[in-house]
Amino acid sequence: MKTYRVGLVGITGYAGMEVARLLAGHPALKLAMACSRAEAGKRLGEFYPFLEHLPGSDIAISVFDPEKAAQLCDIVFLSVPAGTAMGMAVPLLVGGVKVVDFSADFRLRDPQVYEEWYNHAHTATELLAQAVYGIPELYAEQIGKARLVANPGCYPTCSILGLYAALRCGLIEEESIVIDAKSGTSGAGRKAAVPTLFCEVADTFRAYGLPRHRHTPEIEQEVSLLAGRDVRLSFTPHLVPMNRGIFATIYARLKNPRLTADEARDAFISTWEGNRWIRVLPRGALPEVRYVRGTMFCDVSVVNDPRTGRLIVLSVIDNLCRGAAGQAIANANLMCGLPVETGLTVAPSV
Ligand SMILES: NC(=O)c1ccc[n+]([C@@H]2O[C@H](COP(=O)([O-])OP(=O)(O)OC[C@H]3O[C@@H](n4cnc5c(N)ncnc54)[C@H](OP(=O)(O)O)[C@@H]3O)[C@@H](O)[C@H]2O)c1
């Protein structure tokens, strides 16, 4: 199998760490460059002892240099904060390197919406038209031709995959969508911050980011595209005391209140038939985050509530794998002409 050289900027973060873990077992994407400002000079296996004896562990961590990246890499993952990634993407693309950006910098098609929700100017608006939103189930063909992929946010991935079949089959009133989502603490990143200290997170449960969490316009953008018109929805994230995983409970009013539970579930099953990663659970079964841990699976349950006329969709992913690193690798696979599942066929680490 032909191999491709991968660069990773943001190796010290949680998403970068997950990329390094997954690439250690990938047959065709080989880590060729790992960047961090804080840990430059260390050997990767020294910084991440869990990688010792695995491919990539002998790489020396370096400070990001776009010219060096163009020499060393075919494709670069930018696993850095929003606002930082766009400045890195420009010279990489000029140097002929493909880019998968983990941040929100290229997810929102309208730069004014970006500036309104991220509170800083977009400095690479000329690239927005070529950026492809990286959910392989929705945009595989465009991702395969792309030089720049905007890897989606973790909550948006979980929400959009949960809603996709209901929207595509016209089951729900789009304006009635309410997304009540919970994330493990790794979703907040690895930087030291008081709200994510052990004693602030363990043995408690809280909402945050209301009513303007930054993933709201991203979910609305994709739901609007699926609905064929502008949609506003409610999105409330919560932090739960677990390391990883996202659980979205999504409520929406049924267009046909007499839709039966079997009809609703059949719509989901036929939409996702043949898809390797979306698992529509048997009737009566409800998903759990541990059953998708470390994988690309999205487990979905559909509950029809005839008493309220609502459809309830339960959608569960692993935020670090399907919500970040794994999805980025699936996108890179497509960008390199590899089968989308290459290196990603692993069972959950229950
Ligand atoms: N965590 C998740 O579940 C998740 C899910 C989906 C998407 N994402 C997105 O993925 C990206 C990384 O997230 P994360 O959770 O891994 O964050 P993180 O744990 O806070 O790590 C951020 C990484 O970015 C690097 N970095 C920070 N500022 C930088 C700068 N100005 N220049 C160069 N490098 C810089 C840091 O490296 P040094 O400080 O060592 O240089 C670190 O490796 C973010 O855009 C995030 O929104 C995260």
Structural domains in the chain, CATH included, are 4-152+322-335 (3.40.50.720), 155-318 (3.30.360.10)
Is the separation of the CB atoms in 56 and 21 below 8 Å? no
Give the residue, by CA position, lying nearest to ligand 1 atom 36: 10
Question: What is the structure's pLDDT at 209?
Answer: 94
User: How many angstroms separate the first and last alpha carbons of the chain?
Assistant: 31
**Residue 228: CB atoms within 10 Å:** 9
Assess whether the C-beta atom of 14 lies below 6 angstroms from ligand 1: yes
CB of 151 closer than 8 Å to CB of 328: yes
* Ligand 1 neighbourhood includes 103 CB (under 6 angstroms): yes
In whole angstroms, give the CA distance from residue 277 to residue 254: 26
Per-residue confidence (pLDDT) for residue 159, from 0 to 100: 98
Distance CA 78, CA 76 (A): 6
Cβ of 15 less than 6 Å from ligand 1: yes
Give residue 108 CA to ligand 1 midpoint distance, Å.
Answer: 19
> What CA–CA distance (Å, rounded) separates 265 from 270?
9
- Indicate which residue's Cα is closest to atom 26 of ligand 1: 80
Answer yes or no: is the C-beta of 63 below 6 A from any ligand 1 atom: no
Would you state the structure tokens that stand for residue 273, as one six-digit string?
A: 């038939």
Contact 314, 287 (CB under 8 A): yes
Cβ of 200 below 6 Å from ligand 1: no
pLDDT at 245: 98
How would you write the pLDDT of the chain (350 residues) with one tens digit per residue?
899 999 999 999 999 999 999 999 999 999 999 999 999 999 999 999 999 999 999 999 999 999 999 999 999 999 999 999 999 999 999 999 999 999 999 999 999 999 999 999 999 999 999 999 999 999 999 999 999 999 999 999 999 999 999 999 999 999 999 999 999 999 999 999 999 999 999 999 999 999 999 999 999 999 999 999 999 999 999 999 999 999 999 999 999 999 999 999 999 999 999 999 999 999 999 999 999 999 999 999 999 999 999 999 999 999 999 999 999 999 999 999 999 999 999 999 99
Query: Which residue has tokens 């990246």?
Result: 69
4 closest CA partner among 44, 31, 25, 22: 31
pLDDT, residue 222, reads: 98
For ligand 1, say whether the CB of 184 is within 6 Å of any of its atoms: no
Probe residue for ligand 1, chosen from 42, 62, 64, 80 as the CB with the greatest number of ligand atoms within 8 Å? 80
- Pairing between strand 234-239 and 206-207? antiparallel
DSSP codes joined into one string, 248-305: EEEEEEBSSTT--HHHHHHHHHHHHTT-SSEEEPPTT----GGGGTTSS-EEEEEEEE
* Three-state secondary structure call for residue 95: coil
Q: Are 6 and 74 in contact (CB under 8 A)?
A: yes
Mean pLDDT, the chain, as a whole number? 97
Pair 340, 136: CB distance under 8 Å: yes
Give the model's pLDDT for residue 56: 94
Name the residue with the closest Cα to ligand 1, atom 25. 10
Q: Atom 17 (ligand 1): residue with closest C-alpha? A: 189
pTM confidence score: 0.98
